[in-house]
Structure 1
Amino acid sequence: MKVLIITYYWPPAGGSGVQRWLKFVKYLQGFGIEPIVYTVDNPSYALQDESLIDEVPNNIEVLRQPIWEPNNLLGKKKQTSAGFLSANPSFTGKILQYVRANYFIPDARKFWIKPSVKFLSNYIENNKVDVVITTGPPHSMHLIGLELKKKLNVKWISDFRDPWTEIDYFHQLPLTKKAIAKHHKHEQEVLRNSDAVLVVGKTMKDKYKSFNNNIHVVTNGFDRSLNQEKSILDKKFSITHIGLMNDDRNPKILWKVLNEIISKNKEFKDDFILKLIGKVSSGCMDSIKEFQLNSNVEIIDYVPHEKVQEYQKKSQVLLLALNDVPSAKGIITGKIFEYLIAKRPILAIAPIDGDLSEIISETNSGKVIDFDDEIGLKTTILEMYKQYKVGDLNVNSIGVEKFHRKALTEELSKIVKNL
């Protein structure tokens, strides 16, 4: 059985966007499915990780076609955020944001749709393909699948790594009513015409089930052995955040609580280190400075994926800070699964009734604090610090194995074969 996977992100792309389908492709052949990957020939990736190229199976076919992207024309520089909003745009910046939001729907990769449909129509007519799979964002990938469905009546699965109109930054875009309506129209047309829909969480499934009755939750996961040697932990009381920390994800409640603890507890101040590994926005840096935390903060720029795990395993506490946005309940950041395998206590600032909280609760892997619960956050940090001081800061997580990429690929293979 052969599946054609249409994805913008593919090695050497770095960051979270590439991980999901790179890992599925890695394991699909073990479940009787031969993947064919269709991706861009000349991508403009914000992050690159050459080490991921080694994870692509040598015997799979990778089709590449050039793409024209208007980003350089519009003055957009490479960046790490999925969105393109800046906290304080100039007048010119506001104009460019408006143009990008309203004239490049669903996104700036829309110009790849027509040439891709033409190329892939020819390929499918001359080669065996049982199922087409599109993964977004960018959601223009789904419009390629939609056109192939209409033109060739292929079996088609749309995979939503993130939601479309419910994505965390959508409400901040300078969209006209006409543009918003167009996004919703495209999204619903994709959902209604897909033979199956994949989502990463229950909240997203609930949002989409009125448009399609064949929706499956297949989460992201981890791809390392559960039986790892224990690392030597950081000597200091380290709280580590790995990944992009943009203005939307700026946990001011944490900075405030840490400032209060440090100002009253010199021993904590001497023991404590906050490690931010990845890109940190200027807004976050301003907040850290405002709350006088600079001397306790270590910032490490982007590091390759295989090195990230070492930081995770050594940290006393692993920090997750979700975007405080209307769609927060449905956000399941990919790093949660990497955190699970590290087997260190997780401290998450997120909705206590959201999808992320459910995962942390069912795996007994940490503590979730709501966005405005200062008392709960301070109590939790001090309790973790107390356990650290007596050498008893540990976590006994359970049921983690179901999030291994191989187990998740087995779930995916059943969905594909059932079509």
Structure 2
Amino acid sequence: MKKVLIITYYWPPAGGPGVQRWLKFVKYLRDFGVEPVLYIPENPSYPITDKSFLNEVPQDIRLIKKPIFEPYALASIFSRKQTRTISSGIIAKEEKQNFVQRLMLYVRGNFFIPDARKFWVRPSVKFLTEFLNTENIDTVITTGPPHSLHLIGLKLKRKLDVKWIADFRDPWTNIGYHKKLKLSQASQKKHIKLEKEVLNEADRIITTSFTTKEEFQSKTDKPVTVITNGYDITSGEDLSESGKKFSLAHIGSLLSERNPKNLWEALSELVQENKDFSRDLQLDLAGTVSEEVIESINKYRLDNHLKLHGYLSHREALKMQRSSIILLLIEIDSEETKGIIPGKIFEYLAAKRPVIAIGPPNWDAGIILKETEAGKVFGYEEKKSLKEEILGSYKLFKEGQLQCDSKNIEKYSRKQLTGKLAKLISEV
């Protein structure tokens, strides 16, 4: 059985979508003749945790842990709330940032390149050089963000000439929040230089979206493969519940710029125009929600219909997906985000609930919804058609006829995706 070393920052008990990708790959890799060995931080500073993921870690998997210096841990001494907010990706609009937020963003962007986990690179390279020399492992996989982990792979490649696969769950220099980090011109150049080195020295590159693949193919001649995230529903689990309310649910972070005012306005008009709709409507938001989003919802007088659930365990999130009537998928309206495919979309497909998505033009997620016939996508400027879609869905809901028969979703199962990964590993 071929051994591979997987270097990842996020591992249980970390919560959120970042941990699930490699947790699920590790769960199934042995079925395809690959033995994973994990290298993870011993004392990470995770913005959210979900201990339920610990139950999915194979008991006999080999885990190697080494300490990491976390600047976020020090910063939290001065401002715990701001540190947790920024490390979670919730960045307020420029005009609403206070002095502490501006300072932390400037320091984060210009002193910690490519990110705040950069201090793990040097000790990890030193330890892993000795480790790989004594183990029968010739293939290394790094996954980012944090993209500093790719620098570990880069240095190991240069020192030991191991086979190296770089997995990008998100873009690097082209990701939306880069513009908010108050980068100096020198810092921007350093990011571009590091990204170029990683893309041109890795043996294979993996992306989770089609747009990121196109972007990287314009920057390197190395092979780029798309392996999306997916769903993993254990057979025999009954997570379904019947919803009595006409519930629209969003599971995951709602950033300041991920604020579909056209949706809030459409719902507000329907509430005013239709008493039955007003009585039945429930807006469920699970995860971190920015103050700007809550202010917009209150502005459109939807606060009486709003339920904020906070962070849910993965199992609770799956349960909400199946008990909701409509599932919301929302992304920032920008060119940089059209290649972002939220991990929850695949669990939405498996939930067999209609999806209403609001995002940028030519969004990769829209391609998946269209091919699976699982939902409809709207732009941020579309209100009339969005309102009609919601009202039509509500009428079908009242008649007991609202359903979603998503098609051809099996290729997005975690096990099939792991098979694709295992094939790529064998070809390196």
TM-score tier, shorter chain, comes to: over 0.9
Q: Check conservation: 1:239, 1:318, Cα contact below 8 A.
A: yes
Query: Equivalent of 2:358, from 345, 349, 353?
Result: 349
- How far apart in 1 are the matches of 2:215 and 2:191? 15
Tell me which amino acid in the other structure corresponds to 2:369: I
Q: Check conservation: 1:278, 1:300, Cα contact below 8 A.
A: yes
Tell me which amino acid in the other structure corresponds to 1:113: V
Q: Structure 2 vs 1, CA of residues 398 and 132 (structure 1 numbering), >3 Å: closer, same or farther?
A: same
**Would you tell me which structure has more helix in proportion to its own residues?**
2
**Pairwise mapping of residues 14-25 of structure 1 onto structure 2 (< 5 A)?**
14-25=15-26
1:164 maps to: 172
- How far apart in 2 are the matches of 1:27 and 1:394? 31
Query: Equivalent of 1:78, from 79, 84, 89?
Result: 84
Residue 248 of structure 1 aligns to a residue whose secondary structure is coil
2:334 maps to: 325
Aligned length: 419
**Pairwise mapping of residues 19-58 of structure 1 onto structure 2 (< 5 A)?**
19-58=20-59
1:247 aligns with 2:256: yes
2:153 maps to: 145
Tell me which amino acid in the other structure corresponds to 2:33: G
CA drift of 1:80 comes to 7.5
- How far apart in 2 are the matches of 1:174 and 1:31? 45
- How far apart in 1 are the matches of 2:317 and 2:303? 23
- How far apart in 2 are the matches of 1:279 and 1:2? 38
1:203 maps to: 211
Q: Check conservation: 2:90, 2:256, Cα contact below 8 A.
A: no
- How far apart in 1 are the matches of 2:238 and 2:64? 39
CA drift of 1:17 comes to 0.8
**Pairwise mapping of residues 300-315 of structure 1 onto structure 2 (< 5 A)?**
300-315=309-324
**Pairwise mapping of residues 255-404 of structure 1 onto structure 2 (< 5 A)?**
255-404=264-413
- How far apart in 1 are the matches of 2:250 and 2:190? 36
Give the share of equivalent positions with the same residue, in percent.
47
Q: Which moved more, 1:247-256 or 1:135-144?
A: 247-256
CA drift of 1:253 comes to 1.6
Tell me which amino acid in the other structure corresponds to 1:143: L
Q: Check conservation: 2:393, 2:402, Cα contact below 8 A.
A: yes
Q: Give every structure 1 segment of 4 or more consecutive aligned residues whose post-TM-superposition deviation is greater than 4 Å.
A: 225-230
Tell me which amino acid in the other structure corresponds to 2:316: K
Query: Equivalent of 1:416, from 394, 407, 425?
Result: 425
Q: Check conservation: 2:264, 2:297, Cα contact below 8 A.
A: yes
CA drift of 1:172 comes to 2.2
Q: Check conservation: 2:335, 2:360, Cα contact below 8 A.
A: no
Q: Check conservation: 1:319, 1:346, Cα contact below 8 A.
A: yes
Residue 78 of structure 1 aligns to a residue whose secondary structure is helix
Q: Deviations over 1:327-375 (max 9, x none)?
A: 1210100000111110000010023522100000010101111121111
Q: Structure 2 vs 1, CA of residues 228 and 398 (structure 1 numbering), >3 Å: closer, same or farther?
A: farther
Q: Which moved more, 1:376-385 or 1:131-140?
A: 376-385
2:184 maps to: 176
CA drift of 1:86 comes to 3.0
Residue 72 of structure 2 aligns to a residue whose secondary structure is coil
- How far apart in 1 are the matches of 2:416 and 2:380? 33
Residue 52 of structure 2 aligns to a residue whose secondary structure is helix
- How far apart in 1 are the matches of 2:303 and 2:309? 14
- How far apart in 2 are the matches of 1:230 and 1:390? 24
Which stretches in structure 1 are left out of the alignment for 5+ residues?
Answer: none
- How far apart in 1 are the matches of 2:236 and 2:376? 24
Q: Structure 2 vs 1, CA of residues 81 and 92 (structure 1 numbering), >3 Å: closer, same or farther?
A: closer
CA drift of 1:226 comes to 7.3
Tell me which amino acid in the other structure corresponds to 1:397: S
- How far apart in 2 are the matches of 1:66 and 1:311? 36
- How far apart in 1 are the matches of 2:101 and 2:281? 39
Q: Which moved more, 1:242-251 or 1:89-98?
A: 89-98
Query: Equivalent of 2:140, from 129, 132, 147?
Result: 132
CA drift of 1:91 comes to 1.8
CA drift of 1:43 comes to 0.6
2:195 maps to: 187
CA drift of 1:72 comes to 3.4
Q: Check conservation: 2:354, 2:375, Cα contact below 8 A.
A: yes
Q: Structure 2 vs 1, CA of residues 333 and 108 (structure 1 numbering), >3 Å: closer, same or farther?
A: same
Scaled by the length of structure 2, what TM-score is found?
A: 0.95
- How far apart in 2 are the matches of 1:18 and 1:322? 20
Tell me which amino acid in the other structure corresponds to 2:183: L
Q: Check conservation: 1:239, 1:275, Cα contact below 8 A.
A: yes
CA drift of 1:130 comes to 2.3
Q: Check conservation: 1:6, 1:39, Cα contact below 8 A.
A: yes
